[in-house]
Amino acid sequence: MVKLTEQEIVRRENLQKILDLGINPYPAYLYNVNSTAKEIKDNYKEGSEDYDDISLAGRLMMKRVMGKASFAELQDSTGKIQIYVNRDIICPEENKDLYNKVFKKLLDIGDFIGVKGHVFTTKVGETSIHVSELTLLSKSLKPLPIVKTDAEGNIHDAFTDPELRYRQRYVDLVVNPEVREIFKKRTKLYSSMRQFFDDAGYLEVETPILQAIPGGAAAKPFITHHNSLDIPMYLRIANELYLKRLIVGGFDGVYEFSKNFRNEGMDRTHNPEFTAMEIYVAYKDYNWMMEFTEKLLEHCAMAVNGTTQATFGEHEIDFKAPYKRVTMRQAIIDFTGFDIEGKNEAEIRTAAKGMGIEVDEKMGKGKLIDEIFGEKCEGNYIDPTFIIDYPKEMSPLCKVHRKNNELTERFELMVCGKEIANAYSELNDPIDQKERFEEQLRLSEKGDEEAGQFIDYDFLRALEYGMPPTSGLGIGMDRLIMFLTNNESIQEVLFFPQMKPEN
């Protein structure tokens, strides 16, 4: 049994005193509410009678008791509003217990209460609720952090300890309104994206999270075991191969917001479970997908922030379409002066060494090019920029470029030097796909940890039935919302980021 703190003991005593007064601290009845703090503050005009009979519910967040009258703050899901509680108004009879005992002594900050009354403006000009009826809706037994904001808007004693904020997100959400805004924007991003896809006529689908073969990416999976089948199973690392099966099945466009799981390191931009949105559209190619992507992101940025512009750390970025398109070859020329066109593996390795990049003999041509791009180019793209035409060996699920068989029809979208989207003209040649999987398996067996370790033969069978030409796009939803809310840590945009267990 954990020892209670002084304040927790006091609150439990208050709870008992409330019970002794015959008041249920956790009533079952619904409490009818007919307005919100925000609605009243936005719309109430002094003298108006429109808000003469309002009913609100929320948490008591501050009490300023002045003898027989008090001010307090009530916080509902929309914000805070001041309430005015007068002894003789809420206790018109002889018995003043509701004011003197319950309100003044036994109600604590954090308690849920319901109030009925009328709206008025105080001497100092603050829109407030003149309370005529006060009901305890739920008692709080632990003290919340007290965060105060002064007249200049400065926040005092902000609840900032990241460990406490992430472990007790519920507390963070109660006391830090800007945190609630981040998550509202996150939801707005999802709904605006969903709307964009639905308007285009594409189908939102659900595919297996628990998979026998973790395909569609190369990453270490979380492994579990199915008891009655007695087989190992994996939490998905991607949903790509399932969405393509649905394109084989005849849908024109399918998309899914996919919780993926990767058993790898954690840092400011990686959480073991994260969300990717993937969409596949039949009869399209990656050029079409680039236009679709920039229109999508422009639409989402507007929906989330009301503007296509966004601030991220020291950078100002603009999601307004169209975005620049730069081939990987040109990007490398731009930032190193080196042209990879027509060069063999040894020449590229030498050039990379000359740029001060660590290389080893195991790196193939594609990997070397990717290293050069990652080291010298990637970080320079601040405004959204499509990097196109990636080397073939890095992209086992992507169609070979129509004009150059060493490249693939692939693009990544870079923002502030980070990748937020990845798209292909999808490989739909089953024979080529089988060979690429087998090549990945060989690389994996040779010790390349980035290569796929499984061949999904059912997926190959699906391709053998025929998949139309298709373009697919994946967007890192967590990264995108980080950009749209100016948060450099993924933990700030996940309600419950992964933490080591307490104790």
Within 300-359, which residues bind RNA (CB under 7 A)? Answer: none
Q: What is the nearest approach in angstroms of RNA to the Cβ of residue 206? A: 21
Q: Give dist(CA 371, CA 360) in Å, integer.
A: 11
Q: What is the nearest approach in angstroms of RNA to the Cβ of residue 225? A: 25
Each residue 153-192 as x (binds RNA by CB under 7 A) or -, in order, gives ---xxxxxxxxx-x--------------------------
Cα angle 427, 429, 432; round to 5: 90
- 88 or 339: CB nearest RNA: 88
- 149 or 309: CB nearest RNA: 149
Positions in 87-106 near RNA (CB under 7 A): 87-88, 105
Give yes or no for a contact between 131 and 84, defined as CB atoms under 8 angstroms apart. yes
- Name the one residue in this structure whose structure tokens are 């027989």: 68
Give yes or no for a contact between 274 and 259, defined as CB atoms under 8 angstroms apart. yes
Choosing from 22, 47, 67, 466, the residue that interacts with RNA (CB under 7 A) is 67
Q: Give dist(CA 76, CA 177) in Å, integer.
A: 11
- 31 or 222: CB nearest RNA: 222
Cα angle 26, 28, 30; round to 5: 115
Q: Give dist(CA 398, CA 391) in Å, integer.
A: 10
- 146 or 223: CB nearest RNA: 146
Q: Give dist(CA 228, CA 93) in Å, integer.
A: 68
- 298 or 422: CB nearest RNA: 422
Regarding 262 and contact with RNA (CB under 7 A), the answer is yes
Q: What is the nearest approach in angstroms of RNA to the Cβ of residue 447? A: 12
Name the DSSP class of 417: T
Positions in 35-64 near RNA (CB under 7 A): 62-64
Q: Please identify, among the stretches 5-13, 39-47, 298-306, 341-349, the one whose residues bind RNA according to the rule CB under 7 A.
A: 5-13
Q: Give dist(CA 270, CA 265) in Å, integer.
A: 7
Q: What is the nearest approach in angstroms of RNA to the Cβ of residue 503? A: 8
Q: Please identify, among the stretches 22-30, 197-205, 249-257, 267-275, the one whose residues bind RNA according to the rule CB under 7 A.
A: 267-275
Positions in 359-378 near RNA (CB under 7 A): none
- 67 or 337: CB nearest RNA: 67
Burial class (CB in 10 A: 0-12, 13-18, 19+), 432: middle
Regarding 84 and contact with RNA (CB under 7 A), the answer is yes
Based on DSSP, count helices (H) and strands (E) in the chain, helices before strands: 15, 20
Phi and psi for 383 in degrees, rounded to 5?
Answer: -65, 155
Q: Give dist(CA 184, CA 224) in Å, integer.
A: 33
Q: What is the nearest approach in angstroms of RNA to the Cβ of residue 383? A: 21
Positions in 123-152 near RNA (CB under 7 A): 123-126, 128, 130, 143, 145-151
Regarding 78 and contact with RNA (CB under 7 A), the answer is no
Positions in 188-227 near RNA (CB under 7 A): 216-219
Distances (CA, A) of 384 to 88, 316, 322, 335: 62, 11, 9, 17
Number of residues that bind RNA (CB under 7 A): 76
Q: Give dist(CA 44, CA 119) in Å, integer.
A: 8
Regarding 452 and contact with RNA (CB under 7 A), the answer is yes
Positions in 408-427 near RNA (CB under 7 A): 422
Q: What do you get for the CA distance between the two ends of the chain, in Å? A: 14
Q: What is the nearest approach in angstroms of RNA to the Cβ of residue 394? A: 6
